[in-house]
């Protein structure tokens, strides 16, 4: 998705064919596995659940062979867990010779709500074409059906819209040919003695696995695309789990291959029909190219990649510096210039200052590795200038928090990012994180993505026990509410929250939510 209607037809992009061919050479092999549904289920309203619905089993899926379906009838099957793949079945006519086509409608749900509530009432602002459904007309029966689009589901609803009074339908051999580029299962958790953390780790792994396709997709239901902010977190989890570092490398080369004419890396890329950079640019996402590259180099010591991609990384720093005002603070504006979190009222200025300083530090490590003395000098002096400016312009001694924007907004995001940037000394940062927990600001965090940075900030100041508690509270409550994979959006106090105007369009397997596995494994939580 992209916020607002940006019409940048005059924008020009560059294509680096050498980088594109490196990326093509790293195309992963997709792994397929056929799975069958476990049960036929019904959906039941449950006001205690965040999405309002649960399912109850009615019969084993094997019973479908004995069941006949006529117009107006429907079944819902449950595959037992979240899957990504291609759906197929065999459809037979029973009765008189079929004297009319059979019209079937398929609806795919990552969660019960998507097969329980009608898509016809959808009023969100993202295109309804993301809602997973398909109409199928079968002229000849029996038919072996394989739906052409890749779907993402645990539940499949099949409605018989029309046949003729002279025949009914029997559905057999329902299956999903699942697909992922994850080629092995990561090692089991050995150190943990907490069943909830183990469960959270498992759900994290399935989330990442189902997002690992030809690139690290943000969500296999929506947007099915390569976003830089998401990639950075997926890569961190991948290093601790699947270890498919070439997939990270591929994604880095893709971003570097198609940049805006001045070298700015786009916030996201489309893969088909060709690699296309989106005309959405976000300051934090462009800068995360630097952070993602540094994390990758730190793990792999892949010096060739470092030398080839360092100029792209450095360019992001140069371009971001153009946004720094004379007071040493990144300029604010009304448009969608930085992401940080899905929050309508969140001011992005102070958190973006934090992101920039954080990425400058990453850039310094890269510049040292490539022995780029001139860049090192610039970076060191910019880190000092931006940190000083953050304390001078953004810190509010009376309130005990950093403020953001002309309205002096106090948000979680500002504190978290300026802590991650290392602004202030260690004692200052630790007490700021304690204050944040004790006096929660009004502007909260809406996504597991922002929660990731909150946990990271807690760990950065040594508050490990607190980080564990927060992980259990937040991701644990998704698990307790039946998540097979972690959700794109989750606000326990506002469970139906969607920045897109409808919970039906939210993604329920979203890679930026899978980072507990990174924390649990890296920090031995």
* 1 is a site residue for ligand RAM (CB under 6 A): yes
Interaction between residue 288 and ligand RAM (CB under 6 A):
no
**In the complex, what is the shortest distance from the CB of residue 234 to ligand RAM, in angstroms, rounded to a whole number?**
10
CA distance 403 to 350: 7
Taking Cα atoms as reference points, which of 133, 85, 134 lies closest to residue 109? 133
Q: Angle, nearest 10°, between helix axes 412-420 and 349-369?
A: 20
Q: Is 218 in the site for ligand RAM (CB under 6 A)?
A: yes
> Strand pairing partners for 78?
39, 155
Query: Minimum distance from CB of 325 to ligand RAM (Å)?
Result: 25
Burial of residue 86, with CB atoms counted within 10 A of its CB: 0-12 exposed, 13-18 middle, 19 or more buried? middle
Contact between 341 and ligand RAM (CB under 6 A)? Answer: no
x-or-dash pattern for ligand RAM, window 73-102, by CB under 6 A? ------------------------------
**Residue 497 CB, nearest distance to ligand RAM (Å)?**
14
- Min CB(286)–ligand RAM separation in Å: 13
In this complex, which beta carbon is closest to ligand RAM, that of residue 201 or of residue 278?
278
Cα–Cα distance for residue pair 144/456, rounded to 1 Å: 50
The verdict on 217 binding ligand RAM (CB under 6 A) reads: no
Q: CA distances (Å), 499 to each of 126, 338, 505, 517, in order?
A: 10, 16, 10, 26
Does residue 430 touch ligand RAM according to CB under 6 A? no
- Among the listed residues 19, 227, 395, 519, the single contact to ligand RAM using CB under 6 A: 227
Closest CA to 403 of 435, 416, 411: 411
The alpha carbon of 450 is separated from its chain's Cα centroid by a whole number of angstroms, namely 11
Residue nearer to ligand RAM on the CB measure, 209 or 225: 225
Decide: is 278 part of the binding site for ligand RAM (CB under 6 A).
no
Q: Identify the residue among 79, 151, 253, 339 touching ligand RAM (CB under 6 A).
A: 339
Q: H helices of 271-425, where?
A: 283-300, 303-321, 349-369, 373-389, 412-420
What distance in Å separates the CA atoms of residue 426 and residue 68, rounded to the nearest whole number?
68
Judged by CB under 6 A, which stretch of 87-95, 219-227, 241-249, 460-468 contacts ligand RAM? 219-227
Beta strands (DSSP E) in 46-196 are 53-60, 74-95, 102-109, 133-138, 143-146, 151-162, 167-180
**223 binding ligand RAM? (CB under 6 A):** yes
Positions in 476-515 near ligand RAM (CB under 6 A): 512
Type and span of the H or E element at 115: helix 112-116
Selected from 230, 294, 295, 484, the binder of ligand RAM by CB under 6 A is 230
Residue linked to tokens 């807690």: 458
Kindly state the smallest distance separating residue 411's Cβ from ligand RAM, in Å: 17
Instruction: Tell me the per-residue interface mask from 293 to 332 with ligand RAM, x by CB under 6 A, - otherwise.
Output: ----------------------------------------
Q: By CB under 6 A, name the one of 112, 229, 351, 424 that touches ligand RAM.
A: 229
Instruction: Give the closest residue to 84 by CA, choosing from 236, 222, 204, 230.
Output: 222
Bridge partners, residue 133, by sequence: 107
Spatial separation of the C-alpha atoms in residues 356 and 287, rounded to whole Å:
7
How many Å apart are CA 430 and CA 441, to the nearest integer?
A: 17
- From 114-122, 167-175, 216-224, 380-388, give the range in contact with ligand RAM by CB under 6 A: 216-224
The count of chain residues that interact with ligand RAM, using the rule CB under 6 A, is: 9
Between residues 342 and 358, which has the closer beta carbon with respect to ligand RAM? 342
The span of 27-35, 77-85, 102-110, 224-232 binding ligand RAM (CB under 6 A) equals 224-232
Instruction: Decide whether 289 or 512 has the Cβ nearer to ligand RAM.
Output: 512
Interface residues with ligand RAM (CB under 6 A) are: 1, 218-219, 223, 227, 229-230, 339, 512
């Amino acid at each position: 998705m992209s916020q607002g209607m940006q019409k940048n037809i005059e924008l020009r992009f560059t294509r680096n064919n050498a980088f594109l061919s490196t990326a093509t050479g790293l195309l992963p092999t997709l792994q397929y596995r056929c799975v069958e549904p476990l049960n036929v289920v019904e959906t039941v309203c449950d006001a205690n659940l965040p999405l309002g619905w649960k399912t109850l089993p009615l019969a084993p899926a094997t019973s479908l062979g004995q069941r006949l379906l006529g117009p107006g009838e429907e079944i819902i099957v449950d595959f037992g867990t979240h899957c990504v793949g291609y759906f197929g079945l065999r459809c037979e006519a029973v009765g008189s010779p079929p004297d009319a086509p059979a019209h079937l409608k398929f609806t795919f749900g990552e969660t019960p709500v998507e097969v329980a509530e009608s898509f016809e009432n959808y009023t969100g602002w993202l295109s309804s074409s993301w809602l997973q459904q398909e109409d199928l007309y079968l002229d000849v029966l029996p038919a072996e059906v394989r739906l052409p689009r890749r779907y993402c589901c645990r539940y499949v609803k099949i409605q018989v819209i029309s046949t003729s009074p002279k025949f009914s339908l029997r559905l057999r051999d329902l299956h999903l040919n699942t697909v992922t580029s994850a080629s092995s299962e990561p090692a089991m958790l050995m150190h943990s003695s907490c069943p909830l953390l183990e469960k959270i780790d498992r759900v994290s792994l399935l989330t990442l696995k189902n997002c690992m396709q030809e690139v690290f997709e943000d969500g296999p239901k929506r947007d099915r695309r390569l976003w830089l902010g998401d990639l950075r977190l997926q890569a961190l989890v991948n290093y601790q789990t699947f270890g498919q570092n070439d997939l990270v490398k591929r994604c880095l080369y893709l971003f570097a291959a198609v940049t805006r004419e001045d070298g700015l890396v786009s916030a996201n890329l489309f893969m088909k029909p060709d690699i296309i950079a989106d005309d959405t640019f976000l300051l934090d996402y462009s800068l995360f190219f630097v952070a993602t590259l540094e994390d990758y180099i730190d793990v792999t010591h892949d010096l060739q990649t470092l030398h080839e991609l360092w100029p792209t990384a450095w360019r992001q720093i140069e371009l971001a510096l153009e946004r720094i005002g004379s007071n040493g603070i990144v300029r604010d504006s009304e448009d969608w210039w930085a992401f940080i979190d899905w929050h309508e009222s969140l001011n992005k200025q102070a958190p973006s200052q934090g992101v920039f300083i954080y990425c400058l530090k990453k850039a310094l490590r890269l510049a040292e590795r490539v022995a780029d003395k001139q860049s090192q000098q610039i970076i060191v002096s910019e880190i000092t200038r931006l940190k000083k400016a953050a304390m001078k312009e953004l810190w509010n001694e009376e309130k005990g928090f950093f403020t953001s924007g002309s309205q002096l907004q106090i948000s979680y995001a500002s504190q978290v990012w300026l802590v991650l940037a290392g602004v202030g000394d260690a004692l200052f940062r630790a007490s700021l994180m304690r204050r944040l927990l004790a006096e929660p600001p009004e502007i909260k965090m809406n996504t597991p993505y922002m929660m990731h940075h909150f946990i990271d900030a807690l760990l950065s100041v040594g508050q490990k026990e607190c980080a564990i508690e927060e992980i259990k509270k937040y991701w644990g409550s998704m698990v307790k509410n039946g998540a097979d994979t972690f959700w794109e959006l989750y606000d326990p106090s506002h469970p139906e929250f969607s920045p897109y105007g409808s919970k039906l369009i939210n993604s329920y397997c979203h890679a930026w939510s899978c980072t507990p596995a990174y924390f649990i494994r890296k920090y031995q939580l």
